[in-house]
Structure 1
């Protein structure tokens, strides 16, 4: 019986629940779909592969992630945070290289709400003196 390790990641409006365990080969599933099929942009896929290559480990992992909300960029960033938190639970030796690269830090930036009387959060009507 293999043990699943869990990590939660959030970015903007997206939330990811990441489950990981050691496996024979690297398999990444997002919402039940392969990573390369779910994310078509190679920049997004490279964000996760960069995290795994950062560790320089010979181990292989099976990753299952469920993501809700947000866009693709926010979703992949939340998966990356959840994955790095789960990897730290597997081995505490992963903590220092991941923290050094900033993978364990949650990005606190959120969308500012729209205010009444304005077009957007800060955009106003053009001022006319005459």
Structure 2
């Protein structure tokens, strides 16, 4: 029994020595986030652009971000002509508002699939990732707002014997 205690005490000493080594690392959520962003390096291509892919519903957006005057081009057209509804343009501009970088970057993106709402969400998702790759210090506010998380909700498929995904055909008593 005494030998077991010595063994356990030795084990405790070994663990406290390891615990002391592991507790030397920064703790707390704020310091961990700062350490994580300090370790991240900007990711840019040969032309000085940050690239990212965004997805929403069935839409996929490829986004290139570079410093500029604030022009946003979608599929070769200006954002105002491609997304005529102001709500969709607001969705796309949300990452700029959160990071307070409105008018500092030019954005060129190509979008395929889905409808306009899904495409706007895909552009926002890709733009947020590209901003995080351009400057790692922009990542924490974007992550806090949930812009880096892919919204995986998609339309449910229609089932056999149903009018739509879940709706039954109208009941007829006679």
Tell me the TM-score normalised to structure 2 length. Answer: 0.69
Quick check: which has more Rg, 1 or 2? 2
* Deviation of the 1:99 alpha carbon: 0.6
Spell out structure 1 runs of 4+ moving beyond 6 A. none
Residue aligning to 2:54: 9
Q: RMSD between aligned alpha carbons?
A: 1.7
* Cα deviation code 1:69-123 (max 9, x no counterpart): 1111100000000000000001111111001111111101111111111111111
**Paired residues of 1:22 and 1:59 also in contact (CA < 8 A):** no
Q: Where in structure 2 are there 5+ consecutive unaligned residues?
A: 1-45
Larger relative contact order (Cα-Cα within 8 Å, sequence gap ≥ 6)? 1
Quickly say closer, same or farther: Cα 1:122–1:62, change in 2 above 3 A: same
Structure 1 or 2: more strand by fraction: 1
1:71-82 → structure 2 map (5 Å cutoff): 71-82=115-126
* Deviation of the 1:5 alpha carbon: 0.9
Which of 63, 69, 78 aligns to 1:18? It is 63
What is the count of residue pairs matched by the alignment?
129
Q: Where in structure 1 are there 5+ consecutive unaligned residues?
A: none
Tell me the TM-score normalised to structure 1 length. Answer: 0.91
* Cα deviation code 1:22-43 (max 9, x no counterpart): 12x1110000001011110011
